[in-house]
Structure 1
């Protein structure tokens, strides 16, 4: 258990200051549009690079087409990748090639994006740092970062989101209107050993103290959480989902949760302001349910790599500045159909 903040307040303040500095940069800030709207498209479990000697190239081509088609249908303001961008354990040491392939539909249209990494994004021939470097080579379009190197995992960071641009307003004179939190649920292997697949205690503690720091600075803001592997609460929820009219979406896969309970969900619930958590990992699930004070949701399996033959798609979140707390989301399938709308009409 990471005890830094309990045992050494000075060191804890240093950790907070370091992580705050690392999450602020010279990139253009993310804002709501002038009409007060903001749309996110989420891609998950693309699994580029799987089976390179057989069906892999065709799968990668189809995955790219799915993303390109969905982006054309939705024209989002921001794109989020929620893990397993590649199948690292089946890959030769050429991961950057696949990351550039994956990002092409996003980069060619100038979309901003951010990522969390999944359990297949680490392997003896693939490192998270290589993937991160490939993403960051695109400069201002990429918001993926390693918020603090002292935290276990790579993609633990946040992005403050601001309201529509006002005349003469700057980040020095205005506050954000919401926060997007990103967490690395780790997993996979390195050259030396297997990596445990859960949000580490250090990331949980970082979140608790960073959130308090931001609340002191900006007040309590609505927020989203993005992570690849679901928590154990998803498994409990799915056991009763068939009789829960407040839920909606595809339920066609087992829930494979994080390997340990580090108190991640407890910290999220206690933080205040968190409206929803979005995960990937289990390809046959794309449901959403209310859980205590937040909504817990699966994204839709986007890639032709990875297991399963479900129709590919992406979860889309629609926000309005006048009522951020009542956000809506749905799944846009590669066929063009809209499904898995949440909240359902019965709610």
Structure 2
């Protein structure tokens, strides 16, 4: 679980008074801090559902679902981040794809189309880059704030790609298994636009396989 500390949230909410108003990029309720200036995230990664369907995989999936339900019951998050898609409950959620989301019998585009049908899914395809789930979600102050229409933080999502092309020949090359330079260029350009509109904002980024640049940090 993660939350935006009260002190930082209050500072950002005050600073956002100078920012212009925002028209939501989503045709659904925007994400907001609660009345205590907190926003709780539950993050589930690399769930590996559907493995060994005739053996140990069945028990593994049951146990994974049980653990996730227990966590959600106990923590009661405001938003759920899935590094691989899973539809459960009525909680708002968003996902980002990785190397298991493109296979001979699994289409990344079809997967996104199915997610888009869910009313509480915030997963988007907002860029013309490689991959699908490259997008961002603004996080807004509580409605109790005098200026509640300017974001206090940005949640970024990156598709690290990977896997095999859908219904491709057996000798086809696999999809690059990383965040590619064009995705980075998209991020840099979008971040500049957001900074010009709202000023510098803190961010959280979600990605299945970290960029190779992390190895040199």
Match 1:151 to one of 116, 129, 139: 129
**Structure 1 Cα separation of the partners of residues 105 and 78 of structure 2:** 34
Cα 1:76–1:117, aligned 2, differ >3 Å: closer, same or farther? same
Cα 1:169–1:221, aligned 2, differ >3 Å: closer, same or farther? closer
2:204 corresponds in structure 1 to: 224
Q: How far apart are 1:231 and its partner, in Å? A: 2.9
- TM-score, scaled to structure 1: 0.52
2:113 corresponds in structure 1 to: 133
Secondary structure at the aligned position of 2:34 is classed as coil
**Structure 2 Cα separation of the partners of residues 175 and 45 of structure 1:** 33
1:177 corresponds in structure 2 to: 152
What do you get for the CA RMSD once the two structures are aligned?
2.0
Secondary structure at the aligned position of 2:39 is classed as strand
Structure 1: unaligned runs, 5 residues or longer? 1-20, 86-98, 237-290, 292-347
User: Structure 2 matches for 1:1-347, cutoff 5 A?
Assistant: 24-82=25-83, 85=84, 102-104=86-88, 108=89, 110-139=90-119, 141-148=120-127, 150-166=128-144, 174-190=149-165, 191=168, 192-235=172-215
- TM-score, scaled to structure 2: 0.81
Give 4+ residue runs of structure 1 displaced > 4 Å after superposition. 167-170, 233-236
Q: How far apart are 1:43 and its partner, in Å? A: 0.1
Contact 1:153–1:200 (8 Å) recurs in 2: no
Contact 2:136–2:156 (8 Å) recurs in 1: yes
Secondary structure at the aligned position of 1:196 is classed as coil
Q: How far apart are 1:55 and its partner, in Å? A: 1.8
Contact 2:41–2:79 (8 Å) recurs in 1: yes
Q: How far apart are 1:159 and its partner, in Å? A: 0.2
Instruction: State the aligned residue count.
Output: 190
Q: How far apart are 1:233 and its partner, in Å? A: 4.9
**Structure 2 Cα separation of the partners of residues 227 and 32 of structure 1:** 23
Q: Which has the higher strand share?
A: 1
**Structure 2 Cα separation of the partners of residues 65 and 131 of structure 1:** 24
**Structure 1 Cα separation of the partners of residues 184 and 210 of structure 2:** 15
**Structure 1 Cα separation of the partners of residues 146 and 39 of structure 2:** 21
Structure 2: unaligned runs, 5 residues or longer? 1-22
Q: How far apart are 1:119 and its partner, in Å? A: 0.5
